[in-house]
Amino acid sequence: MNRRQHTVQRTPNDEHRTTNHALMRTGLTLIELIVALTIFAVLGTALVVTLRNGIAAWQAVEATSRRQQRWQFACDRLQRDVAHAVRLTNDSIPQSWTATALQVVTAQRDRDDIPRLVRVALEANRQQDGSHALLRRSAPYPASLELPWQQEHTMLTGAASLVFEYLYLDASGAPVWQPVWDAEVQGVDAIPRALRLRVTWAQPPLASASCVAGIPTGSVGKLEGP
């Protein structure tokens, strides 16, 4: 018995349907790829934004920490200079303190623990960018009267404002902060009870701060000038 071999002939319509099916399968794969790429782009963007915000926050914390450390150093230095200041009977040192500058002769000990006198000037200088910096100059006294400053150090930078104020007691005994002390106007003996340095930072988060340096009457002596 002969077996007939049947040959299936593909018509043009069959080939067209097969092609369409293949194209549909290919189209679904492209859609899936586009969706995957979109999801990846969204997640990548979110990750980049998160990392950028984290780095910015870390940098802000570091900047604030450095600023606080410099402020604490400047405050400690100011308190030591003023607390050990002495009054001179001569007119060689300017006997006036303003809102932006002051000069004192302060008693300090050198590395060999020997007491000595040092002339110190503190100035709030305006910088080219509009900010303010606290500058400290010093030199041995009395040689510094004829010689330039031997040391100069910028203790603070990046301040929107730096102001010195001086504490007095009014007639009723109430404390009053004034922007100036002038020995010629207020008298040499009318020394302020305390000095306050107020700073407003140009950038947050530390908006403002103040440092008070007491001037105990008992520790302020008189030295005869050279």
Is residue 53 in a domain? Answer: no
Tokens of 83: 């607390």
Q: Is residue 167 part of a domain?
A: yes
Residue 90 lies in a domain: yes
Residue 67 burial (C-beta neighbours within 10 Å; 0-12, 13-18, 19+): buried
Pairing of strands 222-223, 85-88: parallel
Q: What is the pLDDT of residue 218?
A: 42
The pLDDT of residue 211 is 93
Kindly state whether residue 209 falls inside one of the protein's structural domains.
Answer: yes
Q: Which domain holds residue 187?
A: 70-223
Q: Is residue 64 part of a domain?
A: no
pLDDT of residue 14: 53
What are the residues whose beta carbons fall under 8 Å from the beta carbon of 169, sequence distance 6 or more? 175, 176, 193
List Cα–Cα distances, 25 to 15, 37, 104, 134, in angstroms.
Answer: 15, 19, 88, 73
User: What pLDDT, on the 0 to 100 scale, is given for residue 12?
Assistant: 52
10-residue stretch averages of pLDDT, the chain, 226 residues long: 50 54 57 82 88 84 84 91 71 69 83 83 90 91 71 90 89 86 64 88 78 68 36
81 within domain boundaries: yes
Residues in CB range of 1: below 8 A, 6 or more apart: none
What is residue 10's predicted lDDT score, i.e. its pLDDT? 52
Residue 170 lies in a domain: yes
Q: Read out DSSP for 18-61?
A: HHHHHHHHHHHHHHHHHHHHHHHHHHHHHHHHHHHHHHHHHHHH
Residue-level pLDDT at 8: 47
Note the pLDDT of residue 109: 79
The reported pLDDT for the residue numbered 221 is 39
Contact 163, 102 (CB under 8 A): no
Count of domains for the chain: 1
Within a domain: 182? yes
